[in-house]
Amino acid sequence: QKEVEQNSGPLSVPEGAIASLNCTYSDRGSQSFFWYRQYSGKSPELIMFIYSNGDKEDGRFTAQLNKASQYVSLLIRDSQPSDSATYLCAVSSNNNDMRFGAGTRLTVKP
Amino acid sequence: GAGVSQTPSNKVTEKGKYVELRCDPISGHTALYWYRQSLGQGPEFLIYFQGTGAADDSGLPNDRFFAVRPEGSVSTLKIQRTERGDSAVYLCASSWGGGPYNEQFFGPGTRLTVL
């Protein structure tokens, strides 16, 4: 079992729709959770981080964390074609390293 | 200010050769990380520096891989006797401090191709 699991996609949504990206993790000691966006050929850039159970909203993005279920998600409202990218879920514990999922490829169709 | 920079952007080498990849972190960032990303995969942790010392090198795949950060700023990842399986994008990231709550900023990566 991989430490961080994501559906590889591709996930395709129409412009203006809500895109829902999911991630599960295996280490119950995980303390912080990150969503990175990676455009093709580019390096990852941080979109959201969340530490506590519940929802965290930032503009069109909402991160949701459920530690009991070891589940974290990212919702993108009013999806735009420019949101088309690979979204990486990353999990960190006290060990200072960050474990990434393989990423979900999102396509937003105009 | 300047972000994380990495050189070279691309490196092509032959199997068995030695390569060095350089990372220049954001000024003032004490923590530096190396990752490796293969096609279709997420970044894979290699090593973490806090200052000059390697605080966690548990991700280095074998003893052909070594990294240094002698002055607590620039870091060099060194790969001996390269193998075709080493081909990947090597990413460097830095943050203000270590630990799970500090945002890591990534550099553009070095694409290594071993022929």
Distance (Å) from the alpha carbon of B72 to chain A's nearest alpha carbon: 17
pLDDT: is A95 or B26 the higher one?
B26
pLDDT of residue A95: 62
Query: Which residues does chain A have within 8 Å of residue B53's beta carbon, measured at their own beta carbons?
Result: none
Q: How far apart are CA A6 and CA B102, in angstroms?
A: 23
Residues of chain A that touch chain B, judged by Cβ-Cβ distance less than 8 Å: 4, 8, 31-32, 42-46, 49, 51, 88, 90, 92-103
Sign of CA dihedral B44, A35, B11, B27: negative
Going residue by residue through chain A, which has 110 residues, state the pLDDT in tens, using 9 for 90 and above: 679 999 888 999 999 999 999 999 999 989 899 999 999 999 999 999 999 999 999 999 999 999 999 999 999 999 999 999 999 999 988 666 789 999 999 999 99
Three-state SS annotation for chain A:
CCCEEECCCCEEEECCCCEEEEEEECCCCCCEEEEEEECCCCCCEEEEEECCCEEEEECCEEEEEECCCCEEEEEECCCCHHHCEEEEEEEECCCCCEEECCCEEEEEEC
Distance (Å) from the alpha carbon of A89 to chain B's nearest alpha carbon: 9
Q: How far apart are CA A34 and CA A26, in angstroms?
A: 15
**B29-62 pLDDT tens trace:** 999 999 999 999 999 999 999 989 888 898 999 9
Residue B42 tokens read as: 């997420």
pLDDT of residue A98: 85
